[in-house]
Amino acid sequence: MLEIDDLTVDYGSVRALDHVTLRAPLGSITTVLGANGAGKTTLLRAVSGLARPASGSISFAGHRIDRRRVEDIAGLGIAHLPSGQGVIVELTVAENLRLGSLISPKPPAGRKEDLDQVYDMFPVLSQRRRDVAASLSGGERQLLAIGTALMSRPRLILLDEPSLGLAPRAVAHIMAVLRRIHEDSGRTVLLVEQNARSALSIADRVVVLNLGRVVIDEDASALAADPRSMQRLRHAYLGF
Amino acid sequence: MKRLRVTAARALRLTVVRHGLAALAGLALVLVVSAVLPSYRNFQLAELSYLVCATAGLTFLAGPGGQISVGQGAFMAIGAYTTALVINHQHWNLAAALLSALVVAACVGLLLGLATARLRGLYLATLTLALAVALPALVNVRGLSGILEGSNGLSVLASPPPAVLGADFSTPRWQAWVTGFCAVVTLWFLANLGRSRYGRSMRAARDDEAAAALSGVNVARVRLLAFVVAAACGGLGGGLLAWVTSLASPGAFSLNLSFGLLAAAILGGLGSLAGAVWGSLLLVVVSSVTSDLSSGSRLPIDVANNLPGAVYGVVLIVVMMTFPGGLHQGYRWISSRIPALVRRSRPPGDGAGRGSGR
Amino acid sequence: MVRFLNLTLAGITDGMIFATIALALVMIFRATRVINFAQGAMMMLTTFVGWTVQDRTGSYWLALGCALAAGLVLGTLVERVFIRPVENGPELNAAVVALGLIVLINALASMIWGSTPRAYPVPFSLRGYSVGGVRLLLSPNDLFTIGMVAFTMTALVLLFRRTALGLRMRAGAYSPELARLLGVRVGATLTIGWALAGLIGALAGVLIAPVVFLGPDQFDTVLVYGFTAAIIGGLESPVGSVVGGLLLGCTLSYVSGYAGSEVTSLGACAVLLVALMARPSGLFGPATGRRV
């Protein structure tokens, strides 16, 4: 589904990603872990076109996308939810959701159906549909961001630290939502997290970045079962 | 000998000494340039100098002060009318008249600054813009129009060069001297102020108001100071303008002047006083060169009269697109590339790469 | 009493025009964070286009249409050619480019049309209605002005609130990066914003030209009033610009009616000062402090 080959991204003189290769197969949840500054966010920004690669390639569903414009990549069915601010706070809940549905041209009937589904899944959004997103709590905003992404009927969802700054209960809720979305529709998810425990609980595959390089790329179940791998994971995070 | 050199090197590191030397060099430059140029060009040198005064005030306001004013023309108008009134009615000498222009403008700036203490950025800018339009219109108000002569303006009694300089010393040259002196002193004062405790407080307040306030900076006071200083510079520039052109009239302080001064300040590079000189120089040079060209050509009168404006507009746009950091940055960019270009143009094997001259 | 009523009526008509200019400024500021100092010069140019068409064909309506079309084209052109290249530089650079445009456009207009102010015709009678023998300062032409502005405002509100394009434009203005991630062509929405602002400005120019006459420098004062209205309204809010425009229009009308027309511009200064002392970021601006 998503194929990243030998990708290198520089920010000025700093190398953020160093020859990274990874696969996110159709219908899988792949989680990318790593400490601050490991290059996780840059990886997602490169996929959605916000960061320009110095070398390497990114393909989505068979198309090269690494030189395309952000808007066009979004149009192909890749929804990127940046960390922290995933919603436009000046717009109302309903407007955010409508904006999501505008990406792909589809009949109003389909739009209505999607909207009902999102409101079904997140009743809190339905209650507050006329409120501006600025008035929502952090967890509610994250749900709105996910809902907006779903309205665009994405084939691939890129999530950047959805648990950032949320209370443990809200994190558990978000993870449950992600698992449900994945089980309901089989969408491909690339999940960047610092919170390894919650990410590992739903992931099929785990990639660990350290200083811009891939240091682990394994099945989540195999990783969890193998104490040595867990040690390497700790090493990548904490440096010992 | 060696000790002397070390002392000199140490002294050069002192800001006050450096600024003092730069100011002396500036004065020398004014003397030399005014001697070389013909009389008519001396008038332009004077024009440049009073523009530098006003623009430097804006640069200071925008640099350390972090505020934008679109109404510098209003303060120039205040200075100009003050000068005209005290020279014509009180028969004050030039120095006293200019000083009074500076003080009156500073007082108006103080009042306005107190009233607008809570305003930031564009809100303050628009208020000064409204002032720039409203103030010149005052000359037609009943009661004032008698003293200020309405739209015709006040003509200022001319003061000839002092007798010490000889009988045939040209007036424009004398004007270039006085205005040049004022411009250099203004720049010198602003440079020192920017480096002083107040300057540091201003920069701190500009960059992070809350942090500055927490570290004991009286934010309101330093912002007010920057505003008053800028107003005073405008007043001085306006006073000089009235004296040089022998006229204080509302037409001289149109919106175009205020826009032009702001453009000169930004164009030169906000925050660098050298930029204020560059920006003003461009303002004067472009218009004088193009009017020389167009007056000699056989273009229709409407086209010839407006060619300088058109060219100046294009220059503003092109410079801003080419050097986003202003002319001063462009100058630095070019001068830092010259050694590299020289090196590259040397044939290989001729010691290229050694002694880079930096 | 009749005098007060008349001054109010005149103030509303003027205020609607100030509001229109303010609206053009607000649209551009909201979308691109650029203060378009060149709005007045652009208005002047499009109004001259209208004047020329009127001069050749004698049709007010054709001239209006051409001026509006010229506004669309000019807005697009200015954004694409002049503003886009400096958008990523320091914020003030766009302001200098706008200042450069003023000088350039003024010079070009003086070259083509000369610098003597010209009269611009009105489509309807300027004779005020009379009610019970009292002549009001409200003419059919004033009603036309108010109607045109009200129509434009309503159309804009509907565009922003009800259409997909409006939603995209707002998203692009508030949060360009997120909007792009949601597939909005932000570059295009910005251009459309400038084009619409050009159109609105062109309308204001044609409506104000009969009052202040048409010449390279004739619109300066009106532009400053438009700025003042926009700032009073808070720079970000279309509703604010209407309120600001009406407030300013009425105040200026009272000032010039009771204190004399020479102090009108000083009155604008005073209104601005008072409004900003009460609320430093305008009546409808963002509340204290910006969101971080």
Q: How far apart are the first and last CA of chain C?
A: 50
User: Residue range C214-229: average pLDDT?
Assistant: 87
Per-residue pLDDT, B76: 93
Per-residue pLDDT, B99: 92
Q: How close is the nearest chain B Cα to the Cα of C220, in Å?
A: 7
Concatenated DSSP letters of C65-116: HHHHHHHHHHHHHIIIIIIGGGTTS-HHHHHHHHHHHHHHHHHHHHHHH-SS
Does residue C164 sit at the A interface (CB-CB below 8 Å)? yes
> What's the CA gap between B158 and B87, in Å, rounded?
9
Q: Per the CB < 8 Å rule, is B141 touching C93?
A: no
Q: How close is the nearest chain B Cα to the Cα of C198, in Å?
A: 20
3-state secondary structure of C162: helix
Tell me if B197 sits within 8 A of B25, measured CB to CB: no
Q: Which of A104, A180, A89 is nearest to A137 (CA)?
A: A89
3-state secondary structure of C148: helix
Per-residue pLDDT, B19: 80
Cβ contacts of B317 on chain C, cutoff 8 Å = 82, 97, 100-101, 104
Shortest CB distance from C262 goes to which of B120, B141, B305?
Answer: B141
Q: For residue B68, what pLDDT band results from cuts at 50, 70 and 90?
A: confident
Q: Per the CB < 8 Å rule, is A88 touching C291?
A: no
Tell me if B186 sits within 8 A of B232, measured CB to CB: no
Q: For A40-78, b where at least 16 C-beta lie within 10 A, e where not — what string? A: bbbbbbbbbbbbebeebebebeeeebbebebbebbbbbb
Give the A window 154-193 contacts with C, CB below 8 Å: none
Q: Per the CB < 8 Å rule, is C170 touching A90?
A: yes
Tokens of A87: 């919603």
Does residue A79 sit at the C interface (CB-CB below 8 Å)? yes
Q: How many domains does chain B have?
A: 1
What percent of chain C has a predicted confidence (pLDDT) above 70?
Answer: 98
Chains B and A touch (3+ CB pairs under 8 A): no
Q: For residue A238, what pLDDT band results from cuts at 50, 70 and 90?
A: low
Q: Could you list the residue range(s) of the whole structural domain that residue B57 is in? A: 2-357
> What's the CA gap between A19 and A110, in Å, rounded?
41
Q: Per the CB < 8 Å rule, is C99 touching B262?
A: yes
For residue range B208-246, list pLDDT tens digits in order: 878 888 888 888 888 888 899 999 999 999 999 999 888
Q: Which domains does chain C have, with CATH numbers?
A: 2-278 (1.10.3470)
For residue range C229-250, list pLDDT tens digits in order: 998 888 888 888 999 999 999 9
> What's the CA gap between C1 and B352, in Å, rounded?
88
Tell me if C267 sits within 8 A of C248, measured CB to CB: no
Which chains lie within 8 Å of chain A at 3 or more CB pairs, if any? Answer: C
User: Residue range B128-145: average pLDDT?
Assistant: 80
Identify the closest residue of chain B to C84 by CA–CA distance: B321
Angle, in degrees to the nearest 10, between helices C186-212 and C164-174: 100
What percent of chain A has a predicted confidence (pLDDT) above 90?
Answer: 18
What percent of chain A has a predicted confidence (pLDDT) above 70?
Answer: 96
Q: For residue C15, what pLDDT band results from cuts at 50, 70 and 90?
A: very high
**Start-end of H helices in chain A:** 40-48, 70-75, 93-101, 108-121, 123-127, 138-151, 168-185, 196-202, 220-225, 227-238
- A158-162, A199-203, B225-229, range with the lowest pLDDT: A199-203
Cβ contacts of C229 on chain B, cutoff 8 Å = none
> What's the CA gap between C223 and C234, in Å, rounded?
16
Cβ contacts of A99 on chain C, cutoff 8 Å = 167-168, 171, 179, 182, 184
Tell me if C183 sits within 8 A of A152, measured CB to CB: yes
Cβ contacts of B141 on chain C, cutoff 8 Å = 260, 262-263
Per-residue pLDDT, C288: 43
Per-residue pLDDT, B352: 38
Pairing of strands A188-193, A156-160: parallel
Q: How far apart are the first and last CA of chain B?
A: 26
Which tops the pLDDT comparison, B330 or B97? Answer: B97
> What's the CA gap between C247 and C12, in Å, rounded?
8
For residue range B238-268, list pLDDT tens digits in order: 999 999 888 888 888 888 888 888 888 887 7
Does residue A14 sit at the C interface (CB-CB below 8 Å)? no
B32 pairs with which residues across the strands? none
Q: State which amino acid sits at residue B289.
A: V
**CATH value at residue B71:** 1.10.3470
Tell me if C194 sits within 8 A of C83, measured CB to CB: yes
> What's the CA gap between C232 and B122, in Å, rounded?
12
User: Residue range C155-164: average pLDDT?
Assistant: 89
Q: For C95-112, b where at least 16 C-beta lie within 10 A, e where not — what string? A: bbbbbbbbbbbbbbbbbe
What percent of chain B has a predicted confidence (pLDDT) above 70?
Answer: 91
Tokens of C87: 């958008």
Q: For residue B104, what pLDDT band results from cuts at 50, 70 and 90?
A: very high
Q: For residue C16, what pLDDT band results from cuts at 50, 70 and 90?
A: very high
Identify the closest residue of chain B to C268 by CA–CA distance: B130
Apex CA B274: angle with CA B269 and CA B277, to 5°? Answer: 90
Q: Which of B131, B134, A195 is nearest to C276 (CA)?
A: B131
Tokens of B197: 């405790």
- A148-157, B39-48, C67-76, C224-233, range with the lowest pLDDT: B39-48
> What's the CA gap between C60 and C123, in Å, rounded?
6
Q: How close is the nearest chain A Cα to the Cα of C184, in Å?
A: 6
pTM: 0.83
For residue range C256-284, list pLDDT tens digits in order: 888 887 788 888 888 888 888 888 777 77
Cβ contacts of C93 on chain B, cutoff 8 Å = 266, 320, 324
Tell me if A85 sits within 8 A of A33, measured CB to CB: no
For residue range C71-130, list pLDDT tens digits in order: 999 999 999 999 888 877 777 778 888 888 988 998 899 889 988 888 999 888 888 888
Cβ contacts of C178 on chain A, cutoff 8 Å = 82, 85-88
User: Residue range A125-147: average pLDDT?
Assistant: 89
For residue range A49-100, list pLDDT tens digits in order: 999 899 999 999 888 998 899 999 998 889 999 987 789 988 999 999 999 8
For residue range C179-194, list pLDDT tens digits in order: 999 989 998 999 999 9
> What's the CA gap between A65 and A63, in Å, rounded?
6
> What's the CA gap between B154 and B83, in Å, rounded?
10
**Start-end of H helices in C175-237:** 176-181, 186-212, 220-233
Q: How close is the nearest chain C Cα to the Cα of A88, in Å?
A: 6
Q: Per the CB < 8 Å rule, is B120 touching C110?
A: no
Q: For residue B349, what pLDDT band results from cuts at 50, 70 and 90?
A: very low
Which tops the pLDDT comparison, B287 or C61? Answer: C61
C186 sits in the region (left: phi over 0; alpha: psi -120 to 50; else beta) called: alpha
Q: For residue B41, what pLDDT band results from cuts at 50, 70 and 90?
A: confident
What residue has token string 């005209």? B84
Tell me if C128 sits within 8 A of C138, measured CB to CB: yes
Q: Over 70: is that where the pLDDT of B340 sits?
A: no
Identify the closest residue of chain B to C285 by CA–CA distance: B123
Q: Over 70: is that where the pLDDT of B357 sits?
A: no
Q: Per the CB < 8 Å rule, is A50 touching C170?
A: no
Task: Using CB atoms within 10 Å of the CB of residue B83, give its burial: 0 to 12 exposed, 13 to 18 middle, 19+ buried.
Answer: buried
User: Residue range C121-147: average pLDDT?
Assistant: 87
Which chains lie within 8 Å of chain C at 3 or more CB pairs, if any? Answer: A, B
Give the C window 90-129 contacts with A, CB below 8 Å: none
Per-residue pLDDT, B341: 59
**Share in percent of chain B as helix, strand, coil (round to 5):** 80, 0, 20
How many residues appear in chain C? 292
Q: Per the CB < 8 Å rule, is C183 touching A74?
A: yes
- B81-95, B143-157, C106-120, range with the lowest pLDDT: B143-157
What percent of chain B has a predicted confidence (pLDDT) above 90?
Answer: 13
Shortest CB distance from B317 goes to which of C101, C217, C281?
Answer: C101
3-state secondary structure of C285: coil
